[in-house]
Amino acid sequence: MNSVITAKILTLLVCYVGGPGTAKQSEPVLEKFMRTIEAATGWAKDSVQGVYRTRLSECQSYVDKNRPNAIVVDLPTYLKKHKAWKLEPLAHMGAATKKQYFVLVREGSYKTLAALKGKTLVTTLAKDARFISRAVFAKKLDAAKHFVLKRTRRALKGIRKVARGQADATLVDEAAFAHLKNLPLPKKLTAIFSSGKLPGLTLTLVSGTKAKLKKSLKKALPKICRGEGGKLCQTFSVSSFSPAKAALYRKLQKAYK
């Protein structure tokens, strides 16, 4: 049996830039998720405290003020902040190759990325052309120079703009792409590009976190997406945690430089 840890030992930030819902809406689900971590590790109730944020500025503010020792983070934010926040990947939420991106255009309009040179690309990632160029397009083109990048807060808005002829193309992830068939659009969209498969959300620990805590958390990972804690996992469309593949992150970090 695990020994009970009575101190508030884990401060958790779920930083999912552009993610679903709001901090307020997430509170009941996050509360159950944290209590599930405690049950799985044998830690005392309320020894895990945390918040959910969907804007990078809000994530940074929380890091500055609260110094969390555990951060669940999306890949673009991880690549941008892993050095500053001293992050060490512990586990993938879902498969290591969960994330994928697609360029969508109106059917019959454009057939290749080359044909989109100088055209408008709407995406939630417009502020991170480096990520688009180096992770999504694997350095095959410079997104900031190739496209006119336009930001949208939600992928659905980008999809609708393209369908209505208000934009030339949109870059979406696999979740938005999967919902295309259910959307009542005035014009059918088709994918002319699909990226390689990438990690999605990752549970990271801050460098210097005690080995005992890391060991306890790692051992508990298979249980965290079960029961009540599973509701948060379902929110992010994952069914389990899997051990982080360090070599994969090193490769992505090198490409992002």
Q: Which residue has the higher pLDDT, 29 or 232?
A: 29
From 12, 19, 1, 15, select the one nearest 34 (Cα to Cα).
12
Q: What is the pLDDT of residues 159-183, one digit of tens each?
A: 999 999 999 999 999 999 999 999 9
Average pLDDT, the chain: 91
Percent of the chain with pLDDT over 70: 96
CATH C-level class of 101-194? alpha beta
pTM of the model: 0.88
* 30 three-class SS: helix
Q: What is the pLDDT of residue 7?
A: 62
Cα–Cα dist 174/236, whole Å = 12
Q: What is the pLDDT of residues 73-124, one digit of tens each?
A: 999 999 999 999 999 999 998 888 889 999 999 999 999 999 999 999 999 9
Q: What is the per-residue pLDDT across 116-129, written as a single tens digit (0 to 9) for each? A: 999 999 999 999 99
Average pLDDT over residues 62-74: 96
pLDDT band at 49 (very low <50, low <70, confident <90, very high): very high
pLDDT of 1 over the 50 cut:
no
Query: Do 10-96+199-256 and 101-194 fold alike per CATH?
Result: yes
With respect to CATH, is domain 10-96+199-256 assigned 3.40.190.10?
Answer: yes
* Cα gap 209→246, rounded to integer Å: 17
What pLDDT shows up at residue 177? 96
User: In the Cβ-directed half-sphere of 18, how many Cα atoms lie within 13 Å?
Assistant: 23
pLDDT of residue 98: 84
Q: What residue segments make up the domains of the chain, in order of their start?
A: 10-96+199-256, 101-194
What is the per-residue pLDDT across 3-23, written as a single tens digit (0 to 9) for each? 444 566 899 999 999 888 888
Question: At residue 255, does pLDDT exceed 90?
Answer: yes
Output the pLDDT for position 5.
42
What CA–CA distance (Å, rounded) separates 254 from 251?
5
Return the higher-pLDDT residue of 166 and 237: 166
Among 102, 95, 100, CA closest to 238? 95
Reduced to 3 states, what is the DSSP secondary structure of residue 175? Answer: helix
